[in-house]
Amino acid sequence: MDGNKSSKGLKIALGVAIALFIGTAFYTMNLYSTSSKIQKDLQSEKELVINDLDALSKQYDEALSENEVANKDLLEAKARIQGLIDSLKISETNVKSLWRYKQKYVALQKEMDVLLAQNDSLRIENSYLATSLDSTRVRLEERTIFTDSLLLQNDALAEVVSNASVLSAVDLKGSGVIVRTSGKVIPTERAGRSDKIRVCFIVAKNKLVQAGDQELYVQVIDPKNNTLGLNEQVQFDETTLNYSIISKFNYENTNLNVCEFVEAKKDEKFEKGRYIVNVFNEKDLVATSEFVLK
């Protein structure tokens, strides 16, 4: 009777033990399955955070590519993001660490919004400045062109005034003359009877020429191409002028009649033929004429 009771108790105890084992095994398996799922979800979440950080980094790259001069703040923020990505990749995947990285991501995202807004404002200012500089450069170029044009006009005007402010001779005439002892002068076309060559001209009125003592150079060339009279030389820059006589007079800004006399060489008579008479204002020829002695 007692043996049967003992055997029955063992069976009950064994059944309870088996039930407990089965329950523990089921619970363990269920816990492992749940833990694996959580770990997988955490890994997925971790990859999403990394992707979000990569997206932030690319936005910084775009912002930096739009600036010729790198923005120091943008570069530093991008470096912090890259450091966070590298740290997250090797960190343990658990709720606490993932939450910490998410908080850093949110903070970096807010920082990026501020920095990109500042960068856009700076880019707009730079664009406005560049436009302003271009406009200023255009105005300066226009002003330079205008100034150059004025200088050219002034130079041209100065040259015109310089050319105009010279004495000129008009109505130039040359002829042979007989000079009486009384001083009377009689024109002649005969070379043998001519005592002198008379050269007459009118110094034209010119308000641009300063009044006072002035002079012109008279050149008389005979048929043999000899310069009569003094036949002396004067140098103007690279130009050498042979002249017969220097005509000196007082000029009062009105028309002035001038006559000069040129003699033949000592003990010589004038040659028959064509004579050329030139009047020079320094090196510039202002009048020319010719006549013939027979």
pLDDT, tens digit (0-9, with 9 covering 90-100), for 46-56: 677 677 777 77
Decide if pLDDT at 282 tops 70.
Answer: yes
Nearest to 283 by CA among 219, 204, 209, 194: 219
Taking the mean position of all CA atoms in its chain, how far away is CA 203? 50
Q: According to the per-residue pLDDT averaged within each range, which of 7-16, 80-89, 125-134 is highest?
A: 80-89
Residues 233 and 241: their CA atoms lie apart, in Å, by: 5
pLDDT at 289: 93
Q: Is the pLDDT of residue 225 over 60?
A: yes
What is the chain's mean pLDDT, rounded?
Answer: 75
Q: Please state the rounded mean pLDDT for residues 181-194.
A: 91
Task: Check if CATH label 2.60.40 holds for domain 169-293.
Answer: yes
Confidence of residue 288 (pLDDT cuts 50, 70, 90): very high
Give the integer Cα–Cα distance in Å for 294 and 274: 9
> Strands across the sheet with 284-293, in order?
245-251, 212-221, 273-281, 284-293
pLDDT single digits (tens) 233-277? 999 888 899 999 999 999 988 899 999 999 987 778 899 999 999
Neighbours of 199 (CB within 10 A): 29
**What does the pLDDT average to over 268-288?**
92
CA distance 15 to 184: 177
pTM for this prediction: 0.48
In this prediction, residue 120 carries a pLDDT of 61
Domain ranges of the chain: 2-125, 169-293
pLDDT of 105 over the 80 cut: no
Closest Cα to residue 229, out of 287, 174, 189, 289?
174
